[in-house]
Structure 1
Amino acid sequence: KLAMGASQLALAKPVAAAMRMVEEHTENLVEGDTVAVNCANGVVGRVLVQVLSLLKYKVIAVIRDHPDARGDVDLARRRLMDMGAIKVMFDDDHIRSEIESAKIVLPQLAFDGVGGDATARLASALSKTGDIVCFGTAGGSKNQVLPSGWGKKYKGSLVQFSFDEWLASDMAANC
């Protein structure tokens, strides 16, 4: 008999993936740096919000708006704030202006679990040296679309993270 139930086992992979991304991609950050998390109300996103805030980063949680389910959206916002996000905003073309209006320093790092056009919106909200870690395609697009001029205006990088590939790369080294 398993000591953990199926629902607990189902959380192991997303939690491990979030922890690995934090370990691998926050080494150049300092306490107080701003980090954006797209798809923040998903399991990986929620773990990222909690862990990053515990590590004393300022976390901006980005979620999709669902006008027909306002109660659910409000609940997601409250939960993400309770988990440590300093701001919860919608994934739209106004992410950067909302960050600037709130007088929050632009993110040095972003975790993108959506892909497609959401990657471009998130990238345009980063500082000039900010990096993006793409870990999913919840938006249905397998492509990450960067804004025009990304390579000229920004000095950051885009990295694709796959927990499965990381595990398979060298099982002995990862255990």
Structure 2
Amino acid sequence: MSYSYDFDMFSVMPDEVQQEFQGFLNEIGMAHTATQQVALFRDPGLAEALRSADEEIKQMFLDSGFGFNVCHSGAPEGRFPARDENARNACVSRLAKNMGKVENLKDRDWGGFDIVAFLDYFQSAEPMDEVEITALHQDLARQARKYKMRRRMAQVGLALGCTMVVGAAAAMVL
């Protein structure tokens, strides 16, 4: 099966919560957890495939900063939010390092995950700033509204046409 290897970074603690509790986190020595992020794939099928992989493979991904849930930043395929670039690079670097720690790596069941396809995707993915992502979503919303209006007009036309046909048929019967 072919998967989409797009992934996004998900903040373990949202910025608003971090700002509110930063003082407390500093006091208890857990300030570092406030900035933790996890890499989540966008494709639910890929996340499921990884969940079915050998335990060693799953642990390798978890230790590298990947999770098995799904997240979508809103960036289109092959693009990612520019703010996540450093965190993405760090996750993939940890993955490469952790791959060296697993014995018989190529003999393991990866659950359908293709590491070569993933690395190809990673090298070709391009950053996209928040303004571009927002503009893209506004354009998609505008297109959806236009499509909805056209669909509504078609439905009204169809209903009117059906009414005329039924009316004409009723007039012929009478």
| TM-score, with length taken from structure 2 | 0.27
Of the two, which has the highest radius of gyration?
A: 2
| TM-score, with length taken from structure 1 | 0.27
Kindly indicate which of the two structures has a greater share of residues assigned to helix.
2
